[in-house]
Structure 1
């Protein structure tokens, strides 16, 4: 069958309908390089396309479907909340928002929470909060925020500027001023950047980093690097902001990525896994830097009853069912299995790395095989994976993935490499 036309059963007994990729492309902006499959339904860690083919989902909406697909607790929360109250303005108190904020502050280093709709919005809010703190509390007129090369913080103008990858910035100048970039996990470079800013008569207001770089190739933060940064921030009055959009909410085997580094941030962000697939983002901070006042920042849909009610159910399910233990065990199993595959193909695979259930397999730079090639080969074997740059393939399954499913995925990857 041509990939331009995929058959879909509408489930109503009226026969098959056609899903047309051509029709889709004619009406939807071309902002994604899509793989030629149309996904229709899911259950647990499995999804099915419109032709009825089954896939093991090790993408999970790019580290988003925390509880997998059609989880009973998610279905229950969605149904209950939509029948009760789904949206009102933040002009009023929203009980579900308050309960979710309380859960987050009780399970993190944060004291206050602002809710929005996505990771980009959360990071945008963090940038605004850091700038306002710099102006109001530190009297810095021209604050600088240091971020890392190969980072990824979102697609708004401020967050693509914060993102230290020129490919995401191309065509969108003029970019937002006030950002300086240094190599990730490179302490001397960071110290030099701070000194250079000082010499130019400006001041560093904040350092914004990912605890583990996801889009930048699944690169975990170095413990000594982050602990020294925490010390520098304390000594110089610089805010430490951590982007936990991809690694937060249990994906690393701990609630937050920063717990793997033995530090606490002043400001940090969450999204993706927080709602288990329902759009929600959160900006969290220590009370001393909570400088927002009414009118400074807002979000129409942020923190509405529906998103917060569902997100709270996700959080409580992760806790009550001790899913973080599963993340630790399955993560270790996955890394061991991928490392075994790497030892079989030393001419192709350079490294396997990660934390918990966010792991990357890096292909050697001198081979023609790319991450997209391997993802396509894995799709043919019935497993969905996601690139993290031209040479790294990311493995980010739902946190409920089983031992058998990890084995199945790794066997499929081994077959894909064998059949390349």
Structure 2
């Protein structure tokens, strides 16, 4: 049994995953368009999760096909980038589901940055700043809690903006994007095979959503006439009137349980050229699908009425509220950044000299002159003593007595 499985995988080229394979494709997206459009509010939460995932996913960076860099992607590979008709289709589906599609613009080509992207960029900068702290100061926890609350309030304020904008743009879809989708369909139907099949799937989706046009119905009728052996083409072209042409094809091309023979179960038959008779290798899911389409009772188109002017007033108020919330979050982030700068580059603690404070000048007021003049003081004469001292008579100085001394005679020599 294992050998048979291995041989079958080898024959189908499934022995190992090719490096060119992706985890999602535009066919998968088309299947989700059909599913969500059919289920409506029952799967609204699932649709919201899908939109949030696409919005949080990185945009196309390199190989984006005919689309510009920055185009949304269905998966994390650039080969999953949106095509020209995906944004218009998602806008219309978002209108039907009452869910905003923030990453799509009306033209379907120009990628737009969304508030969620901006909030994520703010969160990334916040995370980068937090990682730069060498330690966690006590005041950081309060600042982190403040930022988290502000960012959450900002994201909550954005939700009604995305929904209102999508609702308003969906109204423009009827006038602007339907012709674009119509031209996309016209380009696809020219070649037989999966491209033509995808074009009729798109026609079916738009008709079910109440966005069909007479030109689309004419295309479907022409294709059904060119490939009368494809029951899916018959369904899209004639389901509004009669499905009788489908039943003989279903019973002929989908195997009876008793008459079925072993075969490769590898084909979704209705996306192949009818001349290939791909139903001989049916995977059975294609048969279950077409049988369900034969028995379904049809869908009611959604209500197209809206008050665009009132919606635009509501949108302006929501944008103002979101801008205020953004300012609070940005201020909280700046507080954290200032704290980081304070820690990484502390201010020197050396005392800063205080400049001397000049004292006010003292007024030199003159000393007041007393009003009372004092009389001048006359000098008193020094009194003469009254007792007379007797005069002192001078004593004579005695003459000393010198005796008469006779010198001897010295004779003169004769030479």
- TM normalised by structure 2 equals 0.21
Q: Which has the larger radius of gyration?
A: 2
Give 1 or 2: higher helix fraction: 2
Give 1 or 2: higher strand fraction: 1
